[in-house]
């Protein structure tokens, strides 16, 4: 069964460094999403992406974040200058269409630790 994959599973970085989290969505899906979950807190929506542009973003998704689909398979989240509070689990998801009948499928997550 097709699944969303994410790499790396765990990333440790120093404050101020740039990180890129990678996701490979399910191949025939058109909508891509990033979520984050700070330890002990809710999963929070960051951004949705369709047709090579951002569809929606939350207030969390500020100028230090960016997303890209550099080729036909990868979907990336870049954090330009990491802060301690960026430490969280980051989940990628994809769906065939907009929310509604089109279920979002989640990857296993990347645990980001900023020291």
Judged by CB under 8 A, does residue 44 bind another protein?
yes
Calculate the alpha carbon distances from 85 to 24, 38, 62, 94 in Å.
25, 8, 13, 25
Judged by CB under 8 A, does residue 25 bind another protein?
no
Judged by CB under 8 A, does residue 21 bind another protein?
no
Site for another protein in 90-109 (CB under 8 A): 91, 98-101, 103-109
Judged by CB under 8 A, does residue 5 bind another protein?
no
Q: Which is nearer to another protein, 26 or 47 (CB)?
A: 47
DSSP state of 54: E
Distance, CA of 108 to CA of 115 (rounded, Å) = 22
């Amino acid at each position: 069964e097709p699944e969303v994959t994410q790499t790396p599973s765990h990333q440790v970085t120093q404050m101020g460094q740039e990180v890129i989290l990678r996701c490979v969505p399910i191949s025939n899906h058109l909508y891509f999403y990033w979520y984050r979950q700070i330890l002990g807190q809710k999963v929070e929506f960051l951004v949705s992406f369709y047709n090579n542009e951002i569809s929606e973003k939350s207030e969390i998704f500020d100028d230090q974040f960016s997303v890209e689909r550099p080729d036909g398979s990868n979907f990336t989240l870049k954090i330009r200058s990491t802060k301690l509070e960026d430490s969280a689990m980051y989940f990628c998801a994809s769906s065939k269409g907009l929310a509604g009948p089109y279920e979002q499928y989640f990857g296993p997550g990347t645990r980001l630790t900023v020291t």
